[in-house]
């Protein structure tokens, strides 16, 4: 258990928040795809911590980014610079980190763990291409995150906007894939809504590459004790627990 201090806060509209938190041990140990469990406030209401993926590390600090979707994330979003948060982590199994090259597919706030992954690839000179899809103009600010990877990204919006591909991120990705070939050892990495991940796997256009998916799901404890985050194995022989066995899985391990 660690106590992290909020060093910086950014908000985009009324839905999205990013915090930079100072906590040296988490910043040193976190790997792309891992997450932390954040205590929302003192007391027992809300009782459960909130799982949030690590977006970035920077010396002795780490970044969290989330969309306000309920009471817990709304309370977290009300905190300001100087506030302290009780944080457990880093937790979970992250992405494999050394493909020969990588294709990264993010849907909306699914950019969070994938930004951290792309930063690792950039630092280690592993070639990658990043595909980001957003729903509407309110989410277009996420494209600015990718400016840290010049020449290595494409983006789409489901609303018509200037300069972007109009459609889903999978339409963008599949259009880009046409007539391209890749070296052995290429990996595909994805995070986003369950329907997006399911379609990416089922459509089979990445069947020649390992497809790693980071799941977004409810978690009660963060380390496999409460069993609230169970997902069925593809062979029908039991369940994985996303917090302990994931949140990153090979897509073929899961029953879609």
CATH number at residue 159: 3.40.50.80
What pLDDT shows up at residue 42? 63
What pLDDT shows up at residue 69? 86
Are residues 133 and 190 both part of a single domain? yes
243 in Cβ contact with 91 (< 8 Å): yes
The total domain count for the chain is 2
Q: Which of 91, 115, 146 is the last residue of a domain?
A: 91
CA–CA dist 33, 66 (Å, integer): 15
Are residues 127 and 53 both part of a single domain? no
pTM as predicted: 0.93
* 251 occurs within a structural domain: no
CA–CA dist 256, 254 (Å, integer): 6
Range of the domain at 72: 2-91
Q: Which of 91, 120, 137 is the last residue of a domain?
A: 91
Q: At 221, phi and psi to the nearest 5?
A: -115, -40
* 241 occurs within a structural domain: no
CATH number at residue 11: 2.40.30.10
Residue segments in the chain with a per-residue pLDDT below the cut of 50: none
* 52 occurs within a structural domain: yes
């Amino acid at each position: 258990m660690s106590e992290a201090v909020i060093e910086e806060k950014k908000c985009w509209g009324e839905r999205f928040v990013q915090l930079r938190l100072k906590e040296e041990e988490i910043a040193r140990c976190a790997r792309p795809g891992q997450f932390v469990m954040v205590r929302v406030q003192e007391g027992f209401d809300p009782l459960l911590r909130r799982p949030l993926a690590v977006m970035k590390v920077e010396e002795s600090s780490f970044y969290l980014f989330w969309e306000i979707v309920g009471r817990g994330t709304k309370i977290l979003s009300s905190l300001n610079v100087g506030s302290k948060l009780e944080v457990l982590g880093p937790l979970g199994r992250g992405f494999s980190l050394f493909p020969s090259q990588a294709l990264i597919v993010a849907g909306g706030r699914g950019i969070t763990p994938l930004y951290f992954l792309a930063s690792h690839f950039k630092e280690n000179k592993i070639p990658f291409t990043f595909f980001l899809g957003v729903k509407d103009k309110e989410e277009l600010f996420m494209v600015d995150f990718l400016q840290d990877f010049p020449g290595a990204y494409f983006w789409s919006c489901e609303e018509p906007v200037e300069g972007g591909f109009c459609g889903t991120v999978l339409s963008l990705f599949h259009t880009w894939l046409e007539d391209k070939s890749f070296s052995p050892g290429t990996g595909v990495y994805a995070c986003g809504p369950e329907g997006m991940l399911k379609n990416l796997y089922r459509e089979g256009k990445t069947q020649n590459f390992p497809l790693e998916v980071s799941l977004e799901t409810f978690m009660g404890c963060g380390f496999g004790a409460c069993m609230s985050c169970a997902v069925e194995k593809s062979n029908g022989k039991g369940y994985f627990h996303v917090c302990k066995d994931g949140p990153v899985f090979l897509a073929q391990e899961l029953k879609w």
